Amino acid sequence: MKLLYLSSRGVDYLQDLTFSGLCKTVGIENICVVPWNPNFFLPRRSYPKNLGYIPGNLLSSLRSRYFLKQFDAVVVAAAKPDCFLLYNELVPSISGSMKTIFIDGGDREQVSGDLDRMDDHTSFARAMDLRPFDIILKREMTAGTEYAKNVFPFPFCWNFDKLPSVLPAAKKYDVSFWAVESHPVRTEALTVLQNKFDCTANGTVLQQKFKTYKRKGEFYLQELAACRIVLNFRGVGWDTLRYWEVPSLSTFLISQRPGIVIPNNYEHEKSIVFCDGPGDLIERCDYYLRLETRREAIAAQAYLHTQAHHTDVHRAKQLLSYI
């Protein structure tokens, strides 16, 4: 299958993860990236802004850009204004036999909602007038909300190539939640955790700022792997990278149950532990800190479940199957 991949040069994790998976599935020689995206082909950024980067694809990407002319599908890879500006310009040249796919990796539950958040209130409507999408893949597909029949759940996943080259030999933190307060539930959780366990010492504190994080890049993943328990609560959207990072590091995760549709989701007390809210956090953390064998067994199962259902290759194959 030959794909025209309209990408944003801005940060979009789902766009990047899907591209990585497609490269591993159909090969870069069958993907034409427009505009050419240096973040995919050059080691310019550190984790998590390098999720789409695959070493060794540079020359092949240039060849496919200039010599690949016939396509089976066009993929609008992000809910970003630059992607839709380009798509709307290209619509007249898209043949009727080509499938059109929109990957909506934005934080809002309505389709294309992130365009509104970025003050672009016309691009999606214009695209639907010019050439409606055959397939829409939606990250924040809220459970219980009715969507059009061509909208399918498409949450984040994990690119196992981004595992740290070295992981800690032993755990050094009890309970961590390193997060900015992008939703009131996070503030509530961090308030409950103040002066509990080793939270204050490890930086699980209120009023954290992303720009001042001490743990960044690969070191951040190594530090997650050094935790006995990592917590997860929703941010602007339900789907967080942490929800996929932690199981992929074979680390035990207690999470708020996501309010979105996730096919083959982790199972409570088998590969994850869900909590009803911050109110029962202390009790659950106390319980699982005492049960090391049980805790590590759940974490190991989460790792296997991620490998079986939630890699970048799985997402790419889902996209191809819908086409």
Q: Is the pLDDT of residue 23 over 90?
A: yes
pLDDT of residue 210: 80
Q: Is the pLDDT of residue 286 over 90?
A: yes
Across all residues in the chain, what is the average pLDDT? 96
pLDDT of residue 31: 97
Average pLDDT over residues 174-189: 97
The pLDDT tens digits of the residues spanning 139-149 come to 999 999 999 99
Please classify residue 186 by burial: count the beta carbons closer than 10 Å to its beta carbon, then call 0-12 exposed, 13-18 middle and 19+ buried: buried
pLDDT of residue 115: 97
Count CB atoms within 10 A of the CB of residue 260.
Answer: 19
Average pLDDT over residues 24-47: 95
pLDDT of residue 199: 97
Kindly report whether the peptide bond that precedes residue 153 is cis, defined as omega within 30 degrees of 0.
Answer: no
User: Residue 164: which pLDDT band, with cuts at 50, 70 and 90?
Assistant: very high
Confidence (pTM)? 0.96
Q: Is the pLDDT of residue 213 over 90?
A: no
